[in-house]
Amino acid sequence: MSYIDLSIREIHKALLDKKVTPLELTKEALARAKGNDDNCFESILEEEALRQAESLTDIKEGDLLYGIPFLNKDNFSTKGIETTASSNILNGYKPLFDSEVNRRLKEANAVMIAKTTLDELAMGGSGTTGHKGITYNPYSKDHSRMVGGSSSGSAAGLAAGIGVFATGSDTGDSVRRPASLAGLVGVKPTWGRISRFGLFPFAPSLDHVGYFTRYVDDAALLLNYLAGHDEKDFTSSYKPVDDYLARIDEGVKGKRLFRIKEIEDSLSDRRLLKAIDKLSETLIKQGAEVDIVSFPKDLLESLYATYIVISCAEATSNDANLDGIKFGPYYQGKTYQESMKEARTKGFSELIRRRFVIGSFALMKENQDVLFLRAQKNRAKVVDYINKIFLKGYDAYIVPAASSVAPLFGQASDKLSDEYLIADNHLCLANFSGMPSLSLPLALEDGLPLGVNITAMPFEEAKLFSIAKTIENITGLGGLSTVNPRKGNL
Ligand code: GLN
């Protein structure tokens, strides 16, 4: 254990008391980054981080991110620093500006330690498709297990104790599922709550900025810094920002929560089901109401197909600007078309090309009604249904965040089984609805983390954090990492 394993408020106190300096925190994070072999990084920013940390000698009480080391997913634009989204098509691309998230973190004097690997262009959930190869789960020392994705390097790095928080993006589950497989808190706030300026788009109607922390308190505190309108992103909300820490300890007394029967029915991991039962018994003892409600199974089974059609269609159109002319490596051809064809053929892996084929097919005039519009209608149907349940007076729903612990590489999954279609894909529900949603560790199964996910109504993040904090107190897993292992209470 070292200071970087503590919560942000604890580190802040230690900094104010001069027990540790920003430079020491940075050096510790860099040493851990360099000693790690899980392939978490596109680049480690040693020089830049040390230079910044050396200049941080004037901390003021309340500047909570001052000197705090963090990891940055490589699809957030960083001024003057190569940003590739783990795709060859962007090799060598150095943005001329910072993403709004990075601008804010810089202004708060947080220290960026490294840029992290992802599934290429954030399309994927395995951590195996980026141009740097496979990112491993730090909980499997023999590199036998996935950490998931697409925010794979951020999840693996933070779970290995490198830095205090990590940025991510979540279009279908890319923060919340890897958070579950790596024993972290993974947050996707309401759509529009955090500016996406400078985040490479994947599917804008579903894309969210998200992030990972090891403590629920840190997750709430970070949103205080990241939330709020940004005139550079016209989809960012004007809604006033709450103080997300103010109500964090209010507990669950009087709160109405629901579980979804059909999602739990799709699970085969008994240990996970038992942990959810025990959690809900304890929440009831603490004054919450926990109901089990039904959600049409055919709608749940349709989530994945709906997600693929909408996200691939949006991706095809958004990534049309990756033509090898404006960004990344240029290939000489006789015509623009020839150069572009070469750049895109060399620049994208097979998985991306496949997604573009699906997207283009769904957008073809003759297919739009039966594919794209039908998927949009189904999305609306799913969101209507979940809203209807919430309108019965519920505050949040609680579901398993993944079907089990981190899967082994090569472990065959039957892609048409309920366990795959429902249990491993239902998190995109909150991308369809834009609702704030968060995963956190629930229990450990043979030393591997199991996660739970909670979701609330739009802009109810403060409520979400207070429920999550209660759960963290019940599980005893706050601060979990491979450097700070725990047993857990459930
Ligand atoms: N795993 C999902 C996919 O394959 C989600 C990706 C994401 O959220 N960026 O697209």
Reported as a single tens digit per residue, the pLDDT across 325-350 is 988 899 999 999 999 999 999 999 99
pLDDT at residue 414 greater than cutoff 90 = no
Nearby residues of 87 by Cβ (< 8 Å), 6 or more positions away = 120, 121, 130, 131, 322, 347, 348, 349, 352
* 468 pLDDT tier (thresholds 50, 70, 90): very high
Rounded distance from Cα 469 to ligand 1 centre (Å): 27
* 214 pLDDT tier (thresholds 50, 70, 90): very high
- Structure tokens given for 226: 């990241």
Rounded distance from Cα 309 to ligand 1 centre (Å): 12
Is there a catalytic annotation at residue 413?
A: no
What average pLDDT does the segment 42-50 reach? 98
**Nearest CA-CA partner of 168 in 125, 221, 106:** 125
* 167 pLDDT tier (thresholds 50, 70, 90): very high
Contact 193, 92 (CB under 8 A): no
221-244 exposure pattern, b = at least 16 Cβ within 10 A, e = fewer: bbbbbbbbbbeebeebbeeebbeb
Task: For ligand 1, atom 3, name the residue with the nearest CA.
Answer: 124
First to last CA, the chain: 24
Residues within a 6 A CB radius of ligand 1: 122-125, 150, 169-174, 202, 311
**pLDDT tens per residue, range 155-166:** 999 999 999 999
Contact 89, 328 (CB under 8 A): yes
Is there a catalytic annotation at residue 417?
A: no
**Nearest CA-CA partner of 290 in 470, 79, 89:** 470
**pLDDT tens per residue, range 64-92:** 999 999 999 999 999 999 999 999 999 99
Q: In the prediction, which pLDDT does 184 show?
A: 98
Task: For ligand 1, atom 4, name the residue with the nearest CA.
Answer: 124
What average pLDDT does the segment 361-380 reach? 97
Q: Which of 151, 174, 206 to mutate to test the pocket of ligand 1 (most atoms within 8 A of CB)?
A: 174
Q: Which of 74, 119, 170, 351 to mutate to test the pocket of ligand 1 (most atoms within 8 A of CB)?
A: 119
What average pLDDT does the segment 138-165 reach? 98
pLDDT, the chain, mean: 97
pLDDT at residue 412 greater than cutoff 80 = no
Residue 326 burial by CB count (10 A; 0-12/13-18/19+): exposed, middle or buried?
exposed
Nearby residues of 413 by Cβ (< 8 Å), 6 or more positions away = 407, 419, 420, 424
Is there a catalytic annotation at residue 2?
A: no
pLDDT at residue 263 greater than cutoff 90 = yes
Q: In the prediction, which pLDDT does 40 show?
A: 98
pTM > 0.75: yes
